Amino acid sequence: MKNLINFLIQYSVVFLFLFLEIISVTLIVKNQEYQKSVFLSSSNSMVSGLYEWSNSVVEFFKLRTANESLSEENTALKNQIVNLQNKLSTLLPEASDSLRFRIPPEMEYQFISAKVINSSTNKLQNYITINKGIIDGVKPDMGVVSDEGVVGIVKTVSNRFAVVIPILNPKIQISCKFKRNNYNGSLIWSGEDYRYANLTDIARHVQLSLGDTLVTSGLVASTFPEGIPVGIIEDFNIKESDSYYNIKVKLAVSFRTLSHVKVINYLNYKEQKNLELSSEEQ
Amino acid sequence: MPIVLSNIFRFILLVLFQVLVLNNIQFLGYINPYLYILFIIALPVRTPRWFSLILAFAIGLTIDIFSNTLGIHAFATVLIAFLRNGLIKIFTSIEEGSNPTPSFYTFGVGAYIKYVVLFVFIHHSILFYLEAFSFAHFWIISAKIILSSLLTILLILGIQSIKSK
């Protein structure tokens, strides 16, 4: 017994070491189930408070470019309004006898604008924290876009903050298609460079050319509507033995300068999910 | 008492600098220095081992919470804190009873550089492989480790040479 106690005392440091390492490994493994760890991540209110404060300093230097992109978007929207008004005026007489108002498919989406308060681009698995949460109507699985294109998908939400998994994380794949011929494939980040990602599942017979534009396919309609820009083809090649192209895509969004994003709220999400679930059960 | 205070001050300063400045730095897409381990490098030589393990766990976990990498930094820092006494013994001979803070003056220039280089390299290797959790990107990660270690080492040696005795 005395020997045992001596032994324990002699190696107490080793035991402490092992104990702390086991805690660390447990945390790493638990971290895979990301939802559980909101408390110990940057959507924790104290941590995000610090980030918000530091961001308010940094944001000042980004104001000029943010202004420019806002005014560009503004003019584009105004043009759209003029176009729509023109169309509306020609359609008006027919609309008078319609029975019931229904939101057309293009407008089943609402946007919640948010500010990026923390983001990384240099890890193998990157995350973005934004300053909108449950209170503002953000829920997990919602799509996130910026003025330039697709950013990512909301993963966890706390009351006032949310963590987004951007394209720059191999945990998600974005389903997208060519604007020109509608072939679709999924986009995966390779982990090397925050400006590029790889497009997979494009078969050999598809005609490609450099500079083709990629947009979201809308097949996973619950997150992204169809036609949001994702990137353009920078480079592609195919080996004799392969049946799929190896395509390098230059992303539309520059993640290093990201500051304002919009969360997409798909209004019919619940109805569609319920329908899909009930048909799976049968 | 001043030693305790200066270490608390160093802890806070290094965490803030790491989280607010260095985590946003990215040269060439690869280099990402982790200067915060200077805290463990610069703990006084005779700090009890159990205490330095707990301090290492604390600073590692703090960095983890701020950078959404739960457990990874904690693991790497606890490991080097465990190896620290061995490293010091290999490179230097400190007299019994004295309790210096590691630096150029107390260790000697050559010994201190060797100590820092090995320390940083072990830490960064473990950190980056743990982050990737696979050997799939072996060459990219090795390049990241070497370049980031170089920058961290330069930063640490630079800071130490500026600091007065």
Work out the average pLDDT over A63-84: 81
Residues of B in contact with A37 (CB under 8 A): 70
Number of domains in chain A: 2
A134/A76 same-domain check = yes
CB A24 to CB B131 under 8 A?
no
Of A28, A41, A191, the CB nearest to B72: A28
Tell whether A189 and A245 lie within a shared domain. yes
* CA distance readout (Å), B100 to A215, A248, B43: 61, 54, 9
CATH, residue A126: 2.40.10.340
Residue B96: predicted pLDDT: 67
Q: How far is B49 from chain A (nearest CA, A)?
A: 7
**What integer pLDDT is reported at residue B79 of this predicted model?**
92
Task: Give the residue from A258, A81, A238 showing the smallest Cα distance to A167.
Answer: A258
Confirm whether A225 is domain-assigned: yes
Contact predicate A21/B79, CB 8 Å: yes
Highest mean pLDDT pick, A40-44, B95-99, B104-108, B157-161: B157-161
- Measured between CA atoms, how close is A20 to chain B, in angstroms? 7
Are residue A63 and residue A144 in the same domain, yes or no?
yes
Nearest partner of A168 among A126, A215, A198, A200, judged by Cα: A126
Residue A183 maps to which CATH number? 2.40.10.350
Domain range for A216: 174-253
Least confident of A2-6, A258-262, B12-16, B84-88: A2-6
Q: What pLDDT is recorded for position B24?
A: 77
- Which residue out of B12, B18, B61, B70 would a mutagenesis test of the A interface target, given it has the greatest number of A Cβ atoms within 10 Å? B70
Q: How confident is the model at residue A221 (pLDDT cuts 50, 70, 90)?
A: low
Contacts of B21 in chain A (CB under 8 A): none
Residue A99 domain-assigned?
A: no
Asked if B32 reaches chain A (Cβ–Cβ under 8 Å), the answer is: yes
The pLDDT value recorded for residue A92 is 56
Point out the residue among B23, B26, B70 whose CB comes nearest to the CB of A31.
Answer: B70
Nearest to B78 among A21, A47, A163 (CB): A21
Most confident of A62-71, A105-114, B138-147: B138-147
Say whether both A61 and A130 belong to one domain: yes
pLDDT digits (tens, 9 = 90+) for B104-153: 888 888 888 989 999 999 999 998 888 876 666 778 888 888 988 999 99
- In this structure, the answer to whether residues A225 and A153 fall within a common structural domain is no
The type of residue at B37 is I
CB-neighbour burial class of residue B143 (10 A; exposed 0-12, middle 13-18, buried 19+): middle
Q: Do residues A51 and A130 both lie within one domain?
A: yes
| Neighbour-count burial of A250, counting CB atoms closer than 10 A to its CB (0-12 exposed, 13-18 middle, 19+ buried) | middle
Q: Establish if A129 belongs to a structural domain.
A: yes
String of DSSP letters for B56-108: HHHHHHHHHHHHT-TTHHHHHHHHHHHHHHHHHHHH--PPTT--PPPSHHHH-
A128 by Cβ neighbours in 10 Å (0-12 / 13-18 / 19+) ranks as: buried
Evaluate whether residue A145 is within a structural domain.
yes
Residue A10 forms part of a structural domain: no
Partner A contacted by B150 (CB < 8 A): no
Alpha-carbon distance values, A30 to A1, A18, A35, B154 (Å): 37, 18, 10, 35
Could you tell me the two tokens for A18?
């092992």
Quick check: B119 and B157 in contact, CB under 8 A? no
Residue A51 shares a structural domain with residue A164: yes
Q: Is residue A161 part of a domain?
A: yes
Residues A185-209 pLDDT 10s: 889 888 888 889 988 888 888 888 8
pLDDT at A94: 45
In whole angstroms, how large is the CA radius of gyration of chain B?
15
Q: Note whether A132 and A198 are same-domain residues.
A: no
Residues A142, A49 share a domain: yes
What does the alpha-carbon distance between residue A51 and residue A160 come to, in Å, rounded to a whole number? 14
pLDDT in tens, A78-90: 778 877 876 776 6
pLDDT of A61 > 80? The answer is no
Task: Identify whether A236 is part of a domain.
Answer: yes
The per-residue pLDDT for B81 is: 92
| CB-based contact A162:A176 (threshold 8 Å) | no
Task: Give the residue on A whose Cα is nearest the Cα of B25.
Answer: A122
With a cut of 0.85, is the ipTM above it? Answer: no
Mean pLDDT of chain B: 84
Tell me if B26 sits within 8 A of A255, measured CB to CB.
no
Tokens of B142: 């090795």
**A72 and A134 within one domain:** yes
Q: Do A123 and B69 touch (CB under 8 A)?
A: yes
Q: Are both A58 and A111 inside the same structural domain? A: yes
Whether residue A184 sits in one domain with residue A116: no
**Quick check: is A187 in a domain?**
yes
